[in-house]
Amino acid sequence: MIIIVGLFCLFPNVEGKYVVGGSYTVISQTTNQTQLVNATLKIYTCNGENLVEGTLKPYVMLIDSNGSKVFNGYCYSCSLTNMEAGEYTLKVTWRGVLVYQSYINLDENSSEIKVYTNTTRVTISALDDSENKFNDNIEVKMSISGKTFVFNVEETHILPTGQYQVEATYTWNGVVETKVSDIYDIGCSASRLLIRFPVASEVTISFQKRDGSSVRGLDGKAVLYTEKEEKVVSISFSNTDVMHLKDIPYGTYIVKVFLGNNILTTKTVNVDESSPREIVVQLSILPSVTVFVKNLDNLPIVNTEIKISNPIGEEVNIYTDNSGRIVLTDVVEGQYSFTIKWYGIDIRVENYIGENSLTIVFPLKNVELKIRPKGSASLPKGLEVKVLFSLSGIIIKEGKLNSETPEWVLDLGMMWVEGRYEISVEYDEFSWKYVVNKISSSQVEISVPVYDAVVRLYNIQEEPLSGCQVAVSYGRRQLNFTVENGVIYLKHVPETDIKLTVFCNSIPVYDGVLTTNDLKEKKIDIKTSVADIKVHIEGWFSRPLLGAVVNLTVVSSGKTVIYTAKTDSSGNAIFNNVPCPPGSSISAVVVYGGLVSKINVEPSSENKVFLDIFIDTPFLKLSLYQSIILIAALIVAVVVAFLFYRKYKYVKEVEELLVYEEEIIEEGEEEKSSLIEKIKDFIKELKGEKEEEEGWELFG
């Protein structure tokens, strides 16, 4: 007779209720003989499934009453062969956890023994905050009775029933770890273990320009970082403008937007149970901006390369068009720098771009250079000008005058108003430099120190000089003039000391230096050592002598100059432009009517020469002495002739008039005496003295 003995156990399930588990043993009646039993031991879960999972099998051990192991091994359908009938202790271990322990009896009639263990099949699932399953990169650790099992989610495993310490780790995108830990009770009726993570099912971050348009197509990207700056997700704007974040753990994240390799903006994103699931990041990017580039004259700067640096460090070089405009696309809002290359340097201005148009003004100004003479009516031909930018050493402008002009205007183009400039002007071997530190107007004026001057030359009598030569020298330049009407004209003379020498008949009559102050006066008066010398020739009774030859000799500086002139009707011999420098010797030799007279001439004094000319006729010129002799001889001749005549007449009349002889003789003697007395008085008057009476006995 077979007796079925049932052993029942109560097992708790995950809901806190208990299920029936246990085993049934078939035994035979007790006999006095030892019996050997062959039986099959079937191991089941509490739900009646074979306790086997892949290659994993339960560990089964039978222990007899003496405490000896009579059977052990991994099996869920165990064959018990030649087992002595009797009572045994059965232990079943699953995953290292004892899931069954009880007594069984074996007899010869036992053929199959079924054991229901404290195990059940459970599926492990992970849920986000929307109760949606997700199963990527989740590791579940379950600990019970000192044993820990590691599983992935959405896997089904046979587990020992009981209370578990569960720790689940979710690794998002290989970077962000989220852990949950809790105690779970798994009973026989439990079929699924649900682990809820603080994870958002999906968060989308959309990126837009400032006007709401898409950023798709930009050379940029958006990158999501953890608070520890760990990179999690990246998208490229070349093909999308939305970042889809599935199963993102709760937490604080940082979104960085890059244009090129430069950060445009940074935004903090919080993900929790109440945060929005759709986030819009509006980028400070303007679709299009028109930039008007001008100078300080409000004129466009056309066809010029401009280097533009945006707030995120990107640089681009672009040319202005014919209207001075630049059109920029996808412009990052912020502070920009605009740089223009100008004669070797960078000129930069900064402006904030926040609207669709912008005007930038470079500190450049259209400038003319006006060159004027300081003291001349015109600029000289051959004048050269160079304008140098001091900072770079580059010549901005240079030119040369091809003809005289009252002023010279050079267009320098656009000039940096903050620059320092050196203006060089050259003429002959002279040069002048002008420094301009800042440009404040559209015209820079300089005056070149060249002068026109009138030099008036006078002689000692302060009368205009004529006919003399003037040598002017400054630098390497030599100029020669012949004085006309007392004036020479100097033109385009640089502001320097001028050596001026006046020569008359090769004798220097002035040697001096004209200073710059003299030039600035423009009219220069010079008194030379030249004189107009008049030599007055007169005879007796201050009568001027006409036609006297006067030879004037000037000896100076080892040179001798002889002038010759004849006296005019006034008795004057005029010598013009006679050099008479200090230390010179001037003498005059007068020749007239066989008379020669020599005197020393003083240029500043009246020079009179008295010649002993008493009788001056075109045919006869006699001195006083000669005149007296002549007159005396004439008188004697007349008297003698008269006497002879009288005597002759007397003799003749004697014959005729004997009666009157004595009377006539007496009368003749009285007349003779009277004539002689008159002649004596006349001679005394001329000589101023009385002649001795015996000197006149000739007439007695």
Of 64-68, 159-163, 652-656, 680-684, least confident by mean pLDDT is 680-684
Predicted local confidence at residue 506, as pLDDT: 87
The tokens describing 259, both together, are 């244009």
Helix axis angle, 661-687 to 624-656, nearest 10° = 170
- DSSP three-state, residue 599: strand
Return d(Cα 550, Cα 60) in angstroms, integer.
173
- Find the mean pLDDT for residues 499-528: 88
Q: How many residues does the chain have?
A: 700
Judged against a pLDDT cut of 90, whether residue 63 lies above it is answered with yes
Return d(Cα 470, Cα 500) in angstroms, integer.
7
Judged against a pLDDT cut of 60, whether residue 668 lies above it is answered with no
Judged against a pLDDT cut of 90, whether residue 647 lies above it is answered with no
The tokens describing 285, both together, are 């990017």
Predicted local confidence at residue 689, as pLDDT: 46
| Higher pLDDT among residues 260 and 274, named by residue | 274
- Find the mean pLDDT for residues 220-226: 95
Phi–psi pair at 387, nearest 5 degrees: -115, 120
Predicted local confidence at residue 447, as pLDDT: 94
15 contact partners, CB below 8 Å, separation of at least 6: 185, 187, 189, 190
| Higher pLDDT among residues 494 and 659, named by residue | 494
Predicted local confidence at residue 18, as pLDDT: 35
Decide if 349 contacts 335 (C-beta within 8 A): no
Supply the DSSP symbol for 380.
P
Return d(Cα 261, Cα 339) in angstroms, integer.
22
Residue among 100, 52, 40, 95 nearest 76 (CA)? 52
Residue with tokens 């031909």: 381
Residue among 323, 320, 354, 365 nearest 338 (CA)? 320
Of 9-18, 575-584, 594-603, least confident by mean pLDDT is 9-18
Quick one: which H or E segment has residue 116?
strand 112-116
Q: Is the pTM of the predicted complex or chain greater than 0.75? A: no
Judged against a pLDDT cut of 80, whether residue 7 lies above it is answered with no
Return d(Cα 345, Cα 409) in angstroms, integer.
26
How far is residue 653 from each of residues 421, 639, 646, 647, 657, measured CA to CA in Å? Answer: 128, 20, 10, 9, 5
Quick one: which H or E segment has residue 41?
strand 36-44
Expressed in angstroms, the distance from the first to the final Cα of the chain is: 244
Judged against a pLDDT cut of 60, whether residue 22 lies above it is answered with no
Phi–psi pair at 53, nearest 5 degrees: -140, 100
Share of the chain above pLDDT 70, in %: 88
Predicted local confidence at residue 669, as pLDDT: 60
User: In which band, very low, low, confident or very high, does the pLDDT at 6 lie, cut at 50, 70 and 90?
Assistant: very low
Judged against a pLDDT cut of 50, whether residue 630 lies above it is answered with yes
Judged against a pLDDT cut of 90, whether residue 622 lies above it is answered with no
319 contact partners, CB below 8 Å, separation of at least 6: 303, 304, 305, 306, 326
Predicted local confidence at residue 670, as pLDDT: 60
Please state, rounded to an integer, the average pLDDT across all residues of the chain.
86
Other C-beta atoms closer than 10 Å to the C-beta of 205 total: 21
DSSP 525-589: EEE-SEEEEEEEEE-GGG-B-TT-EEEEEEEETTEEEEEEEE--TTSEEEEEEEE--TT-EEEEE
- Find the mean pLDDT for residues 57-69: 93
Supply the DSSP symbol for 56.
B
Of 68-77, 134-143, 624-633, 648-657, least confident by mean pLDDT is 648-657
User: In which band, very low, low, confident or very high, does the pLDDT at 47 lie, cut at 50, 70 and 90?
Assistant: very high
Predicted local confidence at residue 415, as pLDDT: 93
Phi–psi pair at 47, nearest 5 degrees: -100, 10
Predicted local confidence at residue 11, as pLDDT: 42
Return d(Cα 528, Cα 482) in angstroms, integer.
14
Of 238-242, 274-278, 374-378, 522-526, least confident by mean pLDDT is 522-526
Q: Strands 487-494, 325-332: parallel, antiparallel or unpaired by DSSP?
A: unpaired
pLDDT in tens, 105-155: 888 777 889 999 999 999 999 999 999 999 889 999 999 999 999 999 999
Judged against a pLDDT cut of 90, whether residue 557 lies above it is answered with no
Return d(Cα 674, Cα 676) in angstroms, integer.
6
Q: Strands 443-458, 523-527: parallel, antiparallel or unpaired by DSSP?
A: parallel
Predicted local confidence at residue 662, as pLDDT: 57
Judged against a pLDDT cut of 90, whether residue 203 lies above it is answered with yes
Predicted local confidence at residue 694, as pLDDT: 42
Quick one: which H or E segment has residue 650?
helix 624-656
Predicted local confidence at residue 9, as pLDDT: 41
| Higher pLDDT among residues 698 and 266, named by residue | 266
Predicted local confidence at residue 659, as pLDDT: 53
pLDDT in tens, 425-454: 999 889 999 999 999 899 999 999 999 999
Judged against a pLDDT cut of 50, whether residue 30 lies above it is answered with no
Judged against a pLDDT cut of 70, whether residue 487 lies above it is answered with yes
Torsion sign across C-alpha atoms 504, 510, 513, 517: negative
Phi–psi pair at 629, nearest 5 degrees: -60, -45
Judged against a pLDDT cut of 60, whether residue 693 lies above it is answered with no
Predicted local confidence at residue 15, as pLDDT: 37
* Edge-first strand listing for the sheet containing 498-504: 477-482, 469-474, 498-504, 507-514
Of 57-61, 437-441, 619-623, least confident by mean pLDDT is 619-623
User: In which band, very low, low, confident or very high, does the pLDDT at 678 lie, cut at 50, 70 and 90?
Assistant: low
Decide if 283 contacts 257 (C-beta within 8 A): yes
Return d(Cα 551, Cα 575) in angstroms, integer.
10
Judged against a pLDDT cut of 60, whether residue 663 lies above it is answered with no
Predicted local confidence at residue 256, as pLDDT: 94
Torsion sign across C-alpha atoms 311, 317, 318, 320: positive
- DSSP three-state, residue 328: strand
Decide if 588 contacts 599 (C-beta within 8 A): yes
Residue with tokens 């003319």: 368
Return d(Cα 82, Cα 103) in angstroms, integer.
18
Return d(Cα 354, Cα 569) in angstroms, integer.
106
Predicted local confidence at residue 611, as pLDDT: 83
Decide if 539 contacts 610 (C-beta within 8 A): yes
Of 47-51, 58-62, 532-536, least confident by mean pLDDT is 532-536
